[in-house]
Amino acid sequence: MLDIKFVRDNPDIVKENIKKKFQDHKLILVDEVLELDKKSREVKFRGDELRSSRNSLSNQIGALMREGKKEEAEGIKTQVAKINQELLDNEKLEEQYSAELKERLMKIPNIIDSSVPVGKDDSENVEIEKFGEPVVPSYEIPYHTDIMEKLSGIDLDSARRVAGNGFYYLTGNIARLHSAVITYARDFMINKGFTYCIPPFMIRSDVVTGVMSFEEMDAMMYKIEGEDLYLVGTSEHSMIGKFKDQILKKDNLPYTMTSYSPCFRKEKGAHGIEERGVYRIHQFEKQEMIVVCEPEESYDWYNKMWKYTVELFRSLDIPVRTLECCSGDLADLKAKSCDVEAWSPRQKKYFEVGSCSNLTDAQSRRLGIRVKGEKGNYYPHTLNNTVVAPPRMLIAFLENNYNEDGSINIPKVLQPYMGGIDKITP
């Protein structure tokens, strides 16, 4: 959510930002915000005038009563009663304008960083850098669920009977591999100095609207019927929500945390849910990282965070590349974002396995997260990044470590988490 003072002083910048995100239907929001802001300030000024008049008249009543001029005092009391009624009506208008103003401000996208390329959708994202040499072996690499099935590692049919499409049973060494990757990622981030956390897997609606836009909320979140609770789509939601309505000590910044959670997503949209694979599903697990930091440090942290993900994937012998997300591919709260994509030797192309985002003060402003500074309180910046998200990550792992005989190599860093084995065989 943008600062109303910024919108008031820079309406043209806000409108140009909306155009860069190809959301011209939101341009009218800027004018509505300016009009509501004007009305809000007018009723607040009127409220101050009324309270000042009431205080002055109340003092007169006291003086008249002391002088024995009861009749005159009663006449002024009638004026005070009228002012009180006008104040009640005025306060209702204050609440109305304030609510309408906030509703519109929350729909206006965050100001994107000047380095973000302008483009309509993810097809116009820009490759930044490649890490590791992408290899296509001379032998055929099967589809990832075929690999898992030959290793007795997945059961999609049973999952469909139990829960429908978008769910899965992982079994045996594939299930163990899944857990090993998550545990390795946890220790990897702890060794980077991040504090490990297991957060709530359900959050209230005021946290949901604090961490994401209304459009994302509708497309992603599962609502618990009869409760003001939603299942998390990622642990970032509850991790940033942890600081809601808090005034943080400057000396405690930055907060650097890595968190584990299951994730639940509707995956509502044109892409739909895969029937055969585990690339786009309703339920998965993820190791996440979040940072709450000083505004001037957020882009340093942004670069550190995506590099951690690249380093982790390279330690597992998986080639990756980074893509700069264009303006039209950024969610409304994001100022800058890049995707980490892993190499698929079967498809001979890269596919997304993680995303790193700087949301500047958008989330902290919506959630009321502030830092106590020497010259007053201010909003910190928040960032999030995927460390690893199996089973999607397992697709890249299996394909890049697949041997012609159907076995899977286990990289050295992962072997301690797999009981010391260096290979999974059919």
Average pLDDT over all residues of the chain: 94
Tens of pLDDT, residue by residue over 288-341, are 999 999 999 999 999 999 999 999 999 999 999 999 999 999 999 999 999 999
| pTM, two decimal places | 0.91
Beta strands, E only, 308-419: 320-324, 336-344, 349-358, 370-373, 376-378, 381-388, 408-409
Question: Under a CB-based contact definition with an 8 Å cutoff, are residues 276 and 155 in contact?
Answer: no
User: 3-state SS of the chain: helix, strand, coil percent to 5?
Assistant: 45, 20, 30
Q: How many CA atoms lie within 13 A of 112 on its CB side?
A: 27
Give the model confidence (pLDDT) of 129-177 as tens digits.
Answer: 999 999 999 999 999 999 999 999 999 999 999 999 999 999 999 999 9
Residue 70 pLDDT: 79
Confidence of residue 61 (pLDDT cuts 50, 70, 90): confident
Q: Domains (ranges, CATH) in the chain?
A: 4-105 (1.10.287.40), 122-424 (3.30.930.10)
Distance of alpha carbon 290 from alpha carbon 313, whole angstroms? 18
227-255 in b/e form (b: 16+ CB < 10 A) is: eebbbbbbbbbbbbbbbbeeebeeeebbb
DSSP codes, 379-402: PPEEEEEEEE-TTHHHHHHHHHTB
Share of the chain above pLDDT 90, in %: 85
Quick check: 207 pLDDT over 70? yes
Per-residue model confidence (pLDDT) at position 273: 65
Q: How much is the average pLDDT of 191-212?
A: 97
Which range among 58-62, 191-195, 232-236, 407-411 shows the weakest confidence by mean pLDDT?
A: 58-62
Q: What is the pLDDT of residue 275?
A: 65
pLDDT of 377 over the 90 cut: yes
Rounded to 5°, the CA angle 378-21-113 comes to 40
Q: Is the pLDDT of residue 127 over 90?
A: yes
Task: Provide the pLDDT for residue 65.
Answer: 81
